Amino acid sequence: MQGALRTIQVDLTSANAIPAIIAALGGDRVSGLVNNAGLLMRRSFGNWTMADLEEVFRVNAHLPFMLAQALCGHFTDPRAHVVNIASMGGFQGAAKFPGLAGYSASKAALVGYTECLAEEMKQHGVHCNCLALGAVDTEMFREAFPEYQAPVSATEVGKFIARFALEGHNLFNGKVLPLALSTP
């Protein structure tokens, strides 16, 4: 994977999110994709609505899957790599927290999509893996857990994700890897 790194920030709640990303590429080829979508929704049990769950699943799971599918024809070489960013909340056997059922379940769905994408895309030479993040000092984490100090900075994790996007496909395909020193 060589060339320039390009970040494209798009509001995934918009109906035109995927067409906007395709348009932003302007026909350029893609050698990797990091799906870092995240919509945090906190509801006490008994207060979730179907609309809440549909929105959190759409942003956190369905749209990353649809984006990888839409970009499949744009990937440049057999070393192309899709990296989905999930959460330890969506990692089987990890701690779960009250109020975050929709978020955690949507990230678990992204984990499942990752395993399926690896199988679907391998005929195109594209690898797909997932990193399940634990406590990382981000605005979203501080919103979810205001009383807890994350032990890892967003910059440290960002560097790891960038390196993994460039090199992780050499060792992994269809894997879900926990990236956590702790969860609250």
Instruction: Label residue 14 by pLDDT band (50, 70, 90).
Output: confident
Give the mean model confidence (pLDDT) for residues 158-183.
Answer: 95
How far is residue 109 CA from its own chain's centroid? 11
Let me know: does 70 contact 22? Beta carbons within 8 Å: yes
Which residue spans within 90-181 are E strands per DSSP? 127-133, 136-137, 152-153, 176-179
pLDDT digits (tens, 9 = 90+) for 136-170: 999 999 999 999 999 999 999 999 999 999 999 99
Domains identified in the chain and CATH numbers: 17-179 (3.40.50.720)
Query: What pLDDT was estimated at residue 4?
Result: 65
Instruction: Label residue 55 by pLDDT band (50, 70, 90).
Output: very high
Query: What pLDDT was estimated at residue 1?
Result: 40
The catalytic residue positions are 103
Q: Residue 158, class by beta-carbon neighbours within 10 Å (0-12 exposed, 13-18 middle, 19+ buried)?
A: middle
Query: What pLDDT was estimated at residue 104?
Result: 97
